[in-house]
Amino acid sequence: MGDKVKFWTDRWRGDLPVHLSFPIVYGIASNREASVVSSLERLGIEAQRSWNVRLLREPNDWEWGEVDEFLRTLGSNLPQFEHGDRMRWKLLKKGDFDIRSFYNKLRSPLPSIFPWKGIWKVKAPSCVSFFVWTATWEKILAGDILRGRGFDFVD
């Protein structure tokens, strides 16, 4: 795994690249262009593997917290098998792409967090709350919304 995937800058674990998750450790890393496979080493004949990430220097006292978290995260993200690089489809557990999961993702609406408490649970006349509620859902045809829908008018 990881002969083309960059250890520090590619998203191979989680939602962020390692250099954004652990900027202090990245600052003292010796090889910032290392691939994932070059950061792994074999241990003994049984093909067990371990991470081998080299640093330019020993961490300072104030850096040890992030270094410790970095090492714990790496320990929990050790690839189980040696496979070549491959794409994974995050919508399915197996990681294989299929049309049904793609279609369902396109169909499902994005979750919207509606600020209803800030509109209906305030001490204001109900007509004001209704106006704000309608404006929040962009149902009031104000000038900017009309322009966005292609209506031109002179001020």
Q: How many CB atoms lie within 10 A of CB 12?
A: 19
With beta carbons less than 8 A apart as the criterion, state whether 26 and 8 touch.
yes
Domain, as residue range, for 7: 1-99
Q: Is the domain of 9 the same as that of 32?
A: yes
Domain count, the chain: 2
Look at residue 77 in the predicted model and tell me its pLDDT: 72
Q: Is the domain of 49 the same as that of 91?
A: yes
**Average pLDDT by stretches of 10, the chain with 155 residues:** 76 82 90 84 69 87 89 77 65 82 78 73 85 79 73 67
Show the tokens assigned to 87: 């794409």
Q: Is the domain of 88 the same as that of 112?
A: no
Give the integer Cα–Cα distance in Å for 31 and 19: 12
Q: What is the DSSP letter of 120?
A: H
Q: Is the domain of 51 the same as that of 89?
A: yes
Look at residue 52 in the predicted model and tell me its pLDDT: 83
Q: Is the domain of 121 the same as that of 94?
A: no
Show the tokens assigned to 115: 């600020």
Look at residue 3 in the predicted model and tell me its pLDDT: 67
Show the tokens assigned to 69: 């978290």
Judge residue 2's burial from the number of C-beta atoms within 10 Å of its C-beta, 0-12 exposed, 13-18 middle, 19 or more buried: buried
Q: Is the domain of 78 the same as that of 124?
A: no
Look at residue 140 in the predicted model and tell me its pLDDT: 76
